[in-house]
Amino acid sequence: MTDSFSETQASVLIGTTEKMIELWNRLSTEKQAALLARFGTQENALAALLTTQLLAAKDA
């Protein structure tokens, strides 16, 4: 196992993260609050959204 990403992997990760941040900013205050209640922090909520997105892309 390697501790680094290839340029392609890093690009995909950055692009997906940017999409998740945009998604977060479009969520209603109520939905943000629900995610924060479930995951504790915005970072954890974004990580969950990012993981879901990456897994969905892998299965597609």
Which residues in the chain come in under a pLDDT of 70? Answer: 1-2, 60
Q: CA 7, CA 17: separation in Å to the nearest integer?
A: 15
Asked whether residue 52 is domain-assigned, the answer is yes
Note the pLDDT of residue 50: 76
Q: CA 36, CA 3: separation in Å to the nearest integer?
A: 29
Model pTM score: 0.62
Cβ contact 53:17 at 8 Å = no
Asked whether residue 38 is domain-assigned, the answer is yes
User: Whole domain around residue 40: which residue ranges?
Assistant: 27-60
Note the pLDDT of residue 1: 54
The number of folded domains in the chain is: 1
